[in-house]
Structure 1
């Protein structure tokens, strides 16, 4: 479904779930709609009267419990690329259209991944640690030219990562639903059914896939056993793509050389997690796509889509609720078609 009819009789009623941080620059939205800002305790009462729901607090788990049993707003927009918190039966089976914030995070995350690859190859995390200890210890480092990177996820973020790593000299391949050769951003794309073979050939395994029933726990003990002992795992997708206990054991046993994790099964990462203290692990607090101005970009995207909604035009970034991500035909007449397999 591409188009949600505007509400009759005046501007649409928009409910915004705010969380601790208010969305900036909402003037453009407020000119087009009647806007109500709510926190989680008010959500169940606010949703039945809304035409549009803007899930600004994209980490909230309250929407499923607050969703009206008789159906909620006709259009739901989330301020993130991932939509797994909206994939509950009441919304999937109902008539609401879901859109996401695809496109805001692509290049920042790709830059972050390149930084992590360089950090591992040049042992920068050890250099910083040794500097803090005032220790002078010479080491040899690695080159990245010709190193092999496997990017799991062939949507816009995975493609941006592929382009960035290729430009830095790495040999890039992809992992997605559909096998193909000659992909412009990822070269050879391996199907999920051949993941084990693809893992065995990679020096860097980068996870940029959305969380779906098929991808949940895709990097478990068996997958880690397939990886090269010298390989590093980078996860900028979703924490639940990785079985964390299996990863901790593999790192301790030396079955993989290192991991850089920006997302986790439980966030914030508990202080008791052994990942914090592992010298071959880089931990970051779910920030890989958050460059200066990212919140403003999220609001601008929603305001643009709200303008489309009011004008009766197709929405950008329409999510296929059966798949849990934006499909290759994304329901937009003006949005870009970022590849033929948006999940990976």
Structure 2
């Protein structure tokens, strides 16, 4: 049911939880609503009476503690694809609609994953190290054409990765909640409960799944033991998809050939982590989706959704709060008017 436009002269009140970098172009949103930018320390006092919240600081864990006892805003939008930081019980159980920034990061992450596959196959990290040492050492490299990639996570990011890798000549399959035999991007999609079987056949395992109770530490010692010892693991999803201690043990023992990790259970990665010094590991600081202009795209998406909110139209990227992601084919939702 549509909520209808706001009454003339009564623009909605929107709270923006900002971080160190303010949202660029937020002036476009200010033409649609009364926008108040706050930091974490002011969030609790700003939320009561707010119609909407823009979680620009998507790293923040402050929302659960700041959530008003009588219920929060009708709509919360987060400037990331992942929503695991938002799904505390009061928000999940309440009537607040959650939307995410699905679509902004798909292609940049897919390009990044292809770059990592090529880096492993062509030993680009080794070349850079040898150059730093001024050493001339000829090596043979691998071909990626015909290599097998398993992408765990069949949402928009996983599908963009599948398209990129397939175009580069890899044979791609997927792992997701629902098994499929003739998927347009993956061909075969294995059910998540058969993930360990699928791991055995992969040369590259790419994690692009949302963080849910079912996917937390999906790559643990048991999963790593099923991987091809020559395979490489690439994680561009969430750090908690991997049991990091188990991965370190597997890398040290040679049970897995390498790993490229853009996300970690605790960020930033501690200087003491052994992952930094492993020659078969590529560490990057959660940057796989952050192509030039990404902040502007995030604000444009929020502003478009705010315009829809103000005028009573369907919102983009509505998250199924029980599942933790935007469910394909889910019915459109509208924000109901406050009391």
Secondary structure of the corresponding residue to residue 77 of structure 2: strand
Q: Name 1:34's counterpart in structure 2.
A: 34
Conservation of the 8 A alpha-carbon contact between 1:4 and 1:97: no
Q: In structure 2, what is the equivalent of residue 222 of structure 1?
A: 222
The alignment's TM-score, normalised by the length of structure 1, stands at 0.95
- Cα deviation, residue 331, structure 1: 4.3
Contact 2:101 2:298 survives alignment (8 Å): yes
Change (3 A) 1:332 1:291: farther
- 1:45-100: CA deviations, max 9, x gaps? 00012100000000001011111111000000000000000000010001100000
Q: What does 1:57-136 align with in structure 2 at a 5 Å threshold?
A: 57-136=57-136
Deviation string, structure 1 residues 283-319 (Cα, Å, up to 9, x no partner): 0000000000000000000000001111100100000
Q: Classify 1:69/1:131 alpha carbon distance in 2 versus 1 (closer, same or farther; 3 Å).
A: same
Number of the residue aligned with 1:325 = 325
- What is aligned with 2:244? 244
2:6–2:311 CA contact under 8 A, matched in 1: no
- Which residue does 1:307 correspond to in 2? 307
In structure 2, the partner of 1:163 is 163
CA contact (8 A) 1:4 1:75 kept: no
- The verdict on how the C-alpha distance between 1:5 and 1:270 changes in structure 2, with shifts beyond 3 A counting, is farther
1:178 aligns with 2:149: no
Contact 2:154 2:175 in 1 (8 A): yes
Structure 1's unaligned 5+ residue stretches are 334-344
Compared CA separation, residues 15 and 5, structure 1 to 2 (3 A):
farther
Aligned to 1:128, what secondary structure does the other structure show? helix
**What residue number does 2:337 align with?**
none
Instruction: Give the root-mean-square deviation of aligned CA atoms.
Output: 1.2
For 2:301 and 2:31, locate their aligned partners in 1 and report how far apart those are by CA, in whole Å.
15
Corresponding residue of 1:341? none
Residues 106-156 of structure 1: per-residue CA shift (max 9 Å, x gap) = 000000000000000000011011111111111110000000000000000
Matched pairs, number:
332
